[in-house]
Structure 1
Amino acid sequence: MTEVDLSKIEKAVSMILEAVGEDPEREGLLDTPKRVAKMYAEVFEGLNKDPRQYFETVFHENHDEVVLVKDIPFHSMCEHHLVPFFGHAHIAYIPRNGVVAGLSKLARAVETTAKRPQLQERITSTVANAMMDMLNPIGVYVIIEAEHMCMTMRGIKKPGAKTVTTVARGIYEHDDVKRAEILSLLK
């Protein structure tokens, strides 16, 4: 596990402030490099974590129908611009042989996966793959909706535009009726 080099981040932030024409010694900016370094350590704390860890402990229930956790809030940092994107994840799965995960584990898997320089598409597939690997469910369907600040505050400048990504595994890959069931539950 690699430790975050806070002093290196502080130096880099000071250099960025100088490069854009600011004075890092100005009163309002004196502690900014330190604050940014602490923030980066926090928002990138998922770099050395594997979301599959949350599915190591399972429970056995007599349940073989859909489990859906929707509206899981998350935030991440776009790996292309290092600005935030944020939104909600919706995760559905059908347990196999009654093997279920704690509901909070789905949210933890999203959070851990999001806390690294990231792409929305990768979060979606990483969570789905972790669940398939560890729970061996009949199917997993992950939907993520997010607003990307790289589209809001720079470039095209379209605040409110949402990106939706989906990943279907198992039965959801080919069963349109099962997928439609999840979509209707999300409305």
Structure 2
Amino acid sequence: MEKTDFRQQQITRLTQLSDAERSQQNLSLQQQLFASPAWQQAAVIATTISSGIEVATQPIIQQAWAEHKQVVIPQTLPKRQMAFKPYTAETELTRTSFGIFEPTTGETVAKAEIDLILVPGLGYSQAELARIGFGGGYYDRYLADYTGVKLTVAFREMAFAHAEWPVDAYDVVLDQLLVAKDGVDDEH
């Protein structure tokens, strides 16, 4: 399947998740993430302000702040580049042409200072740890020489045994993939 077709299929699938299902999977992912060594050892965490179809990042950001971790979020730059800027409750945000919120102020945090990047996307392969993002190439460019931990938290609908999309040489693979667990263990 071509990447553009796969992306559209995934957006449709993620839009159809019920609020209850989304909530249960978000909780599962938060529990796994906060228990992970990558999270516990990180002082500076990069994430995004999630959109409605993505894994919710606001609870993750709140937890990072509660643990006195620095949170940084991306700002898009010309030529499909990006920089991460500190994110606090006072950070001024603007909505981009992509519909995502990004900081308008703040000093760029050096790549080497970021311990953990929560990499967004639409699909992830469990075997290869490959990802398919939204098509801009910003993360692949940024992550090409990044030496910290590249981790993703994914709804079950985002996880595939193997990549069902073309994986190109420039596509950066993840270090870790956490997938929401089924809700069968809780109050049934």
TM-score range, shorter chain: under 0.3
Point out which structure has higher relative CO (alpha carbons under 8 A, 6+ apart): 2
More helix by share: 1
TM-score by length of 2: 0.22
